[in-house]
Structure 1
Amino acid sequence: MTSSVELPELPEDGLNGIFEGTVPPGVYLVPSVGPEALLQADAEGWQAAVLDLGGVTGRDGFFDSCVAGFELPEWFERNWDTLTDCLTDLSWWGETRGYLVLTSGWPDFARAAPRDADTAAAILAAAVGYWAVRETPLAVLLG
Structure 2
Amino acid sequence: MTEDLAGRYAVTLDLDGVTDKAALMDRVARALDLPDWFGRNWDALADSLADHGVWPAGAVARGLLVVVRNWRPYAETDPGGWRTALDVFAEAADRTPRLTVVLALGGSSQETAPGLDVL
Structure 1 consecutive aligned stretches of length 4 or more whose deviation exceeds 6 Å: none
Matched positions, count: 101
**Cα displacement (A) at 1:90:** 2.1
Report the counterpart of residue 93 of structure 2 in structure 1: 128
Specify the alignment match of 1:55 in structure 2: 17
Separation of aligned partners in 2, 1:19 and 1:128: 15
In percent, how many aligned pairs have the same letter? 36
Residue matched to 1:138: 99
Q: Deviations over 1:53-93 (max 9, x none)?
A: 01111101101110111111222011111111111112222
Q: More deviation in 71-80 or 86-95?
A: 86-95
Q: Deviations over 1:93-131 (max 9, x none)?
A: 243231100111111111111111101100000001101
Q: Which runs of 5+ in 1 are unaligned?
A: 1-10, 12-16, 21-40
CA RMSD after TM alignment: 1.8
Q: TM-score, normalised by structure 2?
A: 0.76
Cα distance in 1 between the residues matched to 2:11 and 2:73: 19
- Flag structure 2 segments of 5+ consecutive residues without an equivalent: 105-119
2:4 corresponds in structure 1 to 19
TM-score after normalising by structure 1:
0.64
Q: Who is 2:39 aligned against?
A: 77
